[in-house]
Amino acid sequence: GENVEQHPSTLSVQEGDSAVIKCTYSDSASNYFPWYKQELGKRPQLIIDIRSNVGEKKDQRIAVTLNKTAKHFSLHITETQPEDSAVYFCAGLSGYSTLTFGKGTMLLVSP
Amino acid sequence: DGGITQSPKYLFRKEGQNVTLSCEQNLNHDAMYWYRQDPGQGLRLIYYSQIVNDFQKGDIAEGYSVSREKKESFPLTVTSAQKNPTAFYLCASSGQLNTEAFFGQGTRLTVV
């Protein structure tokens, strides 16, 4: 089945800086890669996703890039704000059609 | 809020007892999932179901059981065979392949 590795496990940035979280996947047949944000004590919520037929997708301050050859994808957050502080999970759609999640990145944005 | 509801939010269980966590969705989604979340472990798949009356084991199914008698409901039973049941449990649903999964608000289970 699919294996998703996520780095770093924690990331601290100053407000206004950019943040980058990287994930690698093992199953070359995976074709859907969502990113979820989980605030403390709350449910994960989708913030952006990308399918294997595109290399990049943007939504205001967040963007995701996908390199199918290298089997990795990354989340980019620009002009970070304190409310961006949360745990971020990447995921890949595995061969039996269930999402496999990375272990998460705790992002802390300091004012 | 959300369309997928888990209950209760907090649950305490004595060792040796079975306990059932509820998950209900009104999104008309075919697929439903149960994940377990432990600190530093991300989200690990317990069971999933893609249609009524059918379900499959995930990566950590031992000590758990599920049923899918109705499209809207996917309850999870944590049995006494689960050696370390204290965790945060998340239910999710999705409509089709390659689409967004919606999560419930979670149930925090503590064994006392």
Q: Tens of pLDDT along B33-61?
A: 999 999 877 889 999 998 899 999 998 99
Give the minimum alpha-carbon distance from A14 to chain B in angstroms, rounded to a whole number.
23
Determine the Cα–Cα distance for residues B7 and B90; give it in Å rounded to an integer.
11
* Number of residues assigned to chain B: 112
Q: What percent of chain B has pLDDT over 90?
A: 73
Residue-wise pLDDT tens digits, A49-63: 998 888 999 999 999
Taking 80 as the threshold, does the pLDDT of residue B99 lie above it? no
For the CA atoms of B77, B80, B83, B84, the dihedral, rounded to the nearest 10 degrees, stands at 50
| Residue B67: alpha-carbon gap to chain centroid | 11
> Cα separation of A33 and A52, whole Å?
8
Tell me, what's the pLDDT at B40?
73
Kindly state the tokens that stand for A80: 């970070």
Q: B32 in helix, strand or coil?
A: strand
pLDDT in tens, B6-18: 999 999 999 889 9
User: For residue A93, what is the nearest residue in chain B, using CA coordinates?
Assistant: B98
Which residue is it, tokens 């888990």? B6
SS3 B85: coil
pLDDT tens across A26-35, in order? 988 888 999 9
Closest Cα in chain B, distance from residue A44 (Å): 6
Q: Which residue has the tokens 């608000």?
A: B105
Confidence category of residue B23, pLDDT binned at 50, 70, 90: very high
